[in-house]
Structure 1
Amino acid sequence: MAILKTDLCDLLNIEYPILQAGMGGVAFGPLAAAVSKAGGLGTIAAISPTPERLEEEIKYVRSVTDKPVCVDIGFPPRAPQKPEPVKHEDLPDPIKELQAEVEALGIEVKPVDDQAMGIDDAKRKMEICERYGVEVIACALGTPEWAVQHAHSWGAKTISMVGRASHAKRAIANGTDIVVVQGTEGGGHTGDIGLVTLLSEVLEFATVPVVAAGGLVTGAQIAGVLTQGAQGAWIGTRFINTEESSVGPNYKQSIVEADHDTTIRSLLFDGLYVRQLQNRFTEVWQGREDQLLGYPKQRVAIGPVRFAAAEADLENQQALPAGQGSGLIRDVLPAGQVLERLVRETAEALDASSGRIKYSQ
């Protein structure tokens, strides 16, 4: 195994500066444990699961490895204390159509226990993380000062996901330990600024380690952001296509078959901007974007059909969050092998660049 290390590794007590993203519906105990065991930082996605489910996932990781683990919790400033349900008659036409299509396949669409990232829910999950001594908390969609202070109270480090330089400044002011700058190329919740530009902007003023995210699926890409000044890489979509990720084979095959321009970024997933693969789930909204409800109503309204389609691993009606790097992914491997390959590719790319680029002072 190649040697690849930055100061971030010492800060987080990991071997390699590769962090697996906390992807909703994808990254649970098995994936997080596999990545951490292999020397990276595995992350449990904790936005949608109930606190009870989160506790079970943490227990699983602790039963498999003693390596550090991260838990990704959502803290959007607009999160309601208790999301109001949306009546069926008030659903937008695209959601009604998707529901009818899913039910026509014999799949029950039922209410789901999704908290829409409510603050009370986030606080309960923080308490669980404290109980089990979780080493790292990733703050998605906002970094409130109270969350940073709570994590620091038991010795945990905090990672802040940001899509703008102003967000990074706010997170640093609130005491975060690490900033992950996510370019618009990334899958899931993402901003509209490209990674190369965003990384340069944040590196100008950051007083904490900066990690790059957004469309990174190969070692050559990781080498590029490391030479730009990042101390690590936050990898999402590449880890969807692993044996330990929690999505079904149709989801993974959709990524294998994806072209280089297959993704779109829109509000239809939950009312916040999300990048995902195009399929029936996205096409049903074309020309009817005016019916979008906005966050959090959109998340609450579409939740039952979204979760039902995901559980059944439907190829067409399932939401498929994924980054622009999908077109570079052509296989499904164990997560440990993916990490090893990324480390090897990164080291090879760094070595190759030193011999390929000539300069003088």
Structure 2
Amino acid sequence: METALTRLVGVRHPVVQTGMGWVAGPRLVSAAANAGALGILASATMTPDQLRAAIREVRSRTGAPFGVNLRADAGDAGERVRIIVEEGVRVASFALAPSRELIGRLKDAGVVVVPSVGARRHAEKVASWGADAVIVQGGEGGGHTGEVATTVLLPQVVDAVDIPVVAAGGFHDGRGLVAALAYGAAGIAMGTRFLLTSDSTVPDAVKERYLAATVKDITVTTAVDGLPHRMLRTPLVESLERAGRARALLRAVRRAAGFRGLSGLTWSQMVRDGLAMRHGRDLSWSQVLLAANTPMLLKSAMVDGRTDLGVMAAGQVAGVIEDLPSCAELVDRVMAEAREALGALPAPGAASPG
């Protein structure tokens, strides 16, 4: 199925595997790429040296195009852009709107720039700065999310910009792909659905927790980092919501120190990142500290398998996912379902049955 997305990035299918921290590593990304989707490597939880090594590992596993996701507000974003350019990565995606300068630097090097946004005005801004495409995530999506449903946000963005739009938030099958195409999107992006594959390195016990969840077990909370965050409701999340601010901050400082050791960031770099996080948002310094805590809470579940100590970001689709296919099986299934759904649509002007 050829769309503006497949032509832009050179993949076979209009499907994107999103860059999820601690989840979207070389194994998952290369499996998604080999399946014909656009795999996106998550770099925010890696040091620059680890990022370079991960890019090279993906390339050793696949000859297909892939991308790297960056935090636009990170203090070392410029260094990570340099690595992407030097390593010849096809696509750079961003969790937040990148600056005009970062977009220009990447485009000058021939890298396709695809920011993720959660509002029409952000899509309009990055499009005016030269972004090649945009991923728009509605409120159904996992992790940090907004309040506007994909079915409302997606057509707004499609009407507002003249670059390819990829739909995210609430997608897990071929019917969703067809619906997104009908809205004018050039493809879909999926996070939770790719997390729940046999190619994902997330521990089996954590995957089982996801598979057991119903749509009512997935909540949006601000207790983790002060921002709306969609995740599985667990006893830990409930305890964070009940905890006093002082107790939550004490936990956050301890875990932020642990992340500093893993990431290689200095305290001054973390403070600069905190300032960047506050920019444009009404965040207190206590919320910034809680945000610095988030990567370690995610790592506890996604890497260490400690569902009692970690949080599990999840889109609402986790409540309807019931199996763990390989990436190849998943993408093949999505495309087969899409063809079937398209074939079942009535021709224009045809009488409806009955």
Q: Secondary structure at the match of 1:30?
A: helix
Q: Residues 37 and 301 of structure 1: is their aligned pair in 2 closer, same or farther, counting only changes over 3 Å?
A: closer
Q: What is the alpha-carbon distance in structure 1 between the residues aligned to residue 93 and residue 99 of structure 2?
A: 12
Tell me the equivalent position of 1:320. 312
Per-residue deviation at 1:345?
1.0
Structure with the largest fraction of helix = 2
Matched, 1:119 2:116: no
| Counterpart amino acid of residue 209 in structure 1 | P
The one-letter code of the counterpart of 2:22 is G
Checking the alignment, whether the CA contact within 8 Å between 1:143 and 1:174 is kept in structure 2 is no
Kindly state the Cα deviation for residue 54 of structure 1 after the two structures are TM-superposed. Answer: 1.2
Which of 88, 101, 121 is residue 146 of structure 1 equivalent to? 101
- How far apart are the structure 2 equivalents of 1:354 and 1:27? 39
> How far apart are the structure 1 equivalents of 2:159 and 2:309?
43
Q: Which runs of 4+ in 1 moved over 4 A?
A: 289-295, 302-306, 355-360
Does the 8 Å CA contact 2:22/2:303 hold for their aligned counterparts?
no
Counterpart residue identity of residue 352, structure 1: A
Shift of 1:280: 2.2
Contact 2:300 2:307 in 1 (8 A): no
CA distance in 2, matches of 1:234, 1:210: 10
Amino acid at match of 2:24: A
Match of 2:130 among 175, 182, 201: 175
Tell me which of 62, 65, 77 is aligned to 2:62.
65
Q: Take 1:359 and 1:316, find their aligned partners in 2: how far apart are those partners? A: 55
Q: 1:302 to 1:74 in 2, by over 3 A?
A: closer
AA at the equivalent of 2:332:
E
| 5+ long unaligned stretches in structure 2 | 249-284
**Aligned partner of 1:6 among 3, 8, 13:** 3
Any idea what the Cα deviations from partners look like across 1:109-136, whole Å, max 9, x if unmatched?
xxxxxxxxx222x222111111110000
Pick closer, same or farther for the CA change 1:127–1:148 going to 2, 3 Å.
Answer: same
| RMSD value, Cα | 2.1
The TM-score with structure 2 as length reference comes to: 0.84
Q: Write out per-residue CA displacement over residues 32-77 of structure 1, whole angstroms, 9 at most, x where no aligned residue.
A: 111111111011011121112111211111111111111010114x
Matched, 1:255 2:210: yes
* 1:95-110 alignment, distance < 5 Å: none
Q: Does 1:74 align with 2:81?
A: no
Pairing of 1:332-351 with structure 2 (within 5 A): 332-351=324-343
Deviations along 1:151-183, whole A, 9 cap, x unmatched?
Answer: 112101011101011111111111101011100
CA distance in 1, matches of 2:62, 2:298: 32
Q: Does 1:19 align with 2:34?
A: no
Q: Paired residue for 2:219?
A: 264
Give the share of equivalent positions with the same residue, in percent. Answer: 31
- Which stretch shows the higher mean deviation, 351-360 or 319-328? 351-360
Paired residue type of 1:188: G
1:10, CA displacement in angstroms?
Answer: 0.9
Tell me the alpha carbon deviations over residues 294-341 of structure 1, each in whole angstroms, 9 at most, x when there is no partner. 543113245545534543202332210110011111111211111111
Distance (Å, rounded) in 1 between the aligned partners of 2:127 and 2:176: 26
In the alignment, what sits opposite 1:135?
90
Structure 1 residue ranges without an equivalent (≥5): 77-117
Which residue number in structure 2 is paired with residue 90 of structure 1? none
Q: Distance in 2 between matches of 1:64 and 1:213?
A: 26
C-alpha distance in 1, partners of 2:211/2:91?
31
The question of 1:52 aligning with 2:49 is answered yes
Question: 8 Å contact 1:271–1:297 — kept in the other structure?
Answer: no
Show the counterpart of 1:111. Answer: none
Secondary structure at 2:213 match in 1 = coil
TM-score w.r.t. length of structure 1: 0.82
